[in-house]
Amino acid sequence: MQRRGLVLGVMGGAAGCAAGSALPARAQARGLPVPPSGELRFQILRNGTPVGEHHLYFTQNGNRLRVDLAAALVVRIAGIPVFHYKADACEHWEGGQFCGVASKVDHNGARLQVLASPIADGFAIASTKAGDYDYTGSPPMMPLTYWNKAMLESMILNIETGRHYPAIVKSPGWNYLTSAEGERLVAQRFDISGKLHLSVWYDQYGQWAGLQFYVDGDVTFRKFVT
């Protein structure tokens, strides 16, 4: 796999944050698509072979929401590891608004970090790859972590590289997906193009349901539903 592989900045895990407990339903009333269980889990497959998992944990404290992400995968050829990826991040929201993220990524031995901190009308970004800069203006910025469908209408922050991209989105409609357990899910597909090339699915409740992209092979996220 190429070192740019797996587009992941897409994935992250808890940088200095512990995994959360189940989230009260009142957080959903604030308009965020938080799962009632307080957790989302996905199986990661490359060319149909399981290579890792991606987890998100949601914790509520008053009007504040913390989202902890944890992902890890290993690609093997003939049983020999040829690529590994591990990411940890902690994402913060207040009053339904994104207010910062910190991430650490091991991309096949390359150590990367991103920190997004709020400033007036935007965010100050510090990252290993993109350097330091400020983003202000419209549309508002959101991290490339998929669980919030509003990301599709935002400036997208890659939490691996620290770079940001406008979302160019179209929807071919609704599809059937296969869950990690082999069950059938119904979800709407959204194709993102421009700097990013991927497809992401959301179910009828606005919950993240699946992901697919191509980097030296087909990479698919299948949701655990039980």
Structural domain that includes position 17: 5-166
Tokens of 11: 């994935």
For the chain, the three-class secondary structure string (H helix, E strand, C coil) is: CCCCHHHCCCCCCCCCCCCCCCCCCHHHHCCCCCCCCCEEEEEEEECCEEEEEEEEEEEEECCEEEEEEEEEEEEEECCEEEEEEEEEEEEEEECCEEEEEEEEEEECCEEEEEEEEEECCEEEEEECCCEEEEEECCCCEEECCCCCHHHHHCEEECCCCCCEEECEEEEEEEEEEECCCCCEEEEEEEEEECCCCEEEEECCCCCEEEEEEECCCEEEEEECCC
Q: Which of 22, 143, 36 is nearest to 93 (CA)?
A: 143
Phi (first) and psi of residue 29, to 5 degrees:
-65, -20
Q: Rounded CA gap, 138 and 119, in Å?
A: 14
**Residue 137 included in any domain:** yes
**Residue 134 included in any domain:** yes
**Residue 87 included in any domain:** yes
**Residue 9 included in any domain:** yes
pLDDT tens sequence for the chain (226 residues): 333 344 444 443 333 344 443 443 333 435 899 999 999 999 999 999 999 999 999 999 999 999 999 999 999 999 999 999 999 999 999 999 999 999 999 999 999 999 999 999 999 999 999 999 999 989 999 999 999 999 999 999 999 999 999 989 999 999 999 999 999 999 999 999 999 999 999 999 999 999 999 988 999 999 999 8
Please give the tally of structural domains in the chain. 1
Q: What does the pLDDT read at residue 31?
A: 82
**Residue 207 included in any domain:** no
Q: What does the pLDDT read at residue 110?
A: 96
Hunting for tokens 């509520």 — which residue is that?
Answer: 60
Q: Which of 115, 72, 91 is nearest to 20 (CA)?
A: 91
Q: Which long-range contacts (CB under 8 A, 24 or more apart) does 186-193 make?
A: 190/152, 192/152, 192/167, 192/168, 193/168, 193/169
One-letter amino acid at 154 equals: S
**Residue 61 included in any domain:** yes
**Residue 195 included in any domain:** no
